[in-house]
Amino acid sequence: MTHILLEKKDHVAIATVNRPKALNALNSEVLNDLNTLLDEIAADPEIRVLVLTGSGEKAFVAGADIGEMSTLTRTEGEAFGKKGNDVFRKLETLPIPAIAAVNGYALGGGCELAMACDIRLCSDTAVFGQPETGLGITPGFGGTQRLARLVGPGMAKQLIYSARNIKADEALRIGLCNAVYPAEELMPAAEKLAETIAKNAPIAVRACKKAINEGLEMPMDEAVALEEKLFGSCFETADQKEGMQAFLEKRRHDPYQNR
């Protein structure tokens, strides 16, 4: 991978989009690298949480690469949108949780990348927005869909139609991010949250992600049936037995084994 730095610390993977001369903008190469990263993470049984951030102090990801997009034909535009959507959907449905640590501009494809993660933490320098209509296009990597689901259709329409960027405090107020930190505290906070999640029973955490993501797309009767199945499956795990036994014996549970 040329444009992604990957560090693994115990059960946490920290991936950094690293194309600083273009504020980490997503061109085809970066999208290919993200695709490779997600395949590697999904295949690594040791990794329980992914943290995704951008290199430098200015940007998480400043969008899809405008230079690369500027000469696309209609067919090529659709193909570029599909390439991005396939990668972002792979991130959204990654079996383990992904935390976006948004350390600056998260515009267009950058905001969409953060929204494909499960949780968004940001620095007080972060700027979110979907500026696409100001460039003569629509959001193309799921922005019209995920923003509306996250902040509601009214607020999503206002942000997308107006192409207005918002700062961290407003993103927090509308629910686009979960918490705001001084810039130097962002990565420690993201890693601490990742470690906290990684200490919980991994099979249960993965089942919760599946239940929430897939359940939200279903009528409630089907969604609770899915929850029942996943709940039941936990009783076949060693981690459930150890977790409940430790509670009954009034002791701390052993580290969970992911089985």
Which residue numbers are catalytic?
112, 132
Residues at the contact surface with ligand DAK, assessed by CB under 6 A = 22-23, 25, 62-67, 77, 80-81, 84, 105, 107-109, 131-132, 135, 137-141
Sheet holding 59-61, edge to edge: 59-61, 105-107, 127-129, 166-167
Closest to ligand DAK by CB, 90 or 253: 90
Counting Cβ atoms within 10 Å, is residue 137 exposed (0-12), middle (13-18) or buried (19+)? Answer: middle
CB of 79 to ligand DAK, least distance (A): 8
Closest to ligand DAK by CB, 67 or 219: 67
Task: Give strand ranges (E) for the chain.
Answer: 4-9, 12-17, 49-54, 59-61, 98-102, 105-107, 119-123, 127-129, 166-167, 179-181
CB of 114 to ligand DAK, least distance (A): 12
- Asked whether 24 and 55 are in contact (CB, 8 A), the reply is yes
Q: Cα separation of 120 and 175, whole Å?
A: 10
CB of 189 to ligand DAK, least distance (A): 23
CB nearest ligand DAK: which residue? 140
Closest to ligand DAK by CB, 136 or 219: 136
CB of 172 to ligand DAK, least distance (A): 20
Phi, psi (rounded to 5 degrees) for 93: -100, 10
Closest to ligand DAK by CB, 73 or 249: 73
Q: Cα separation of 87 and 38, whole Å?
A: 8
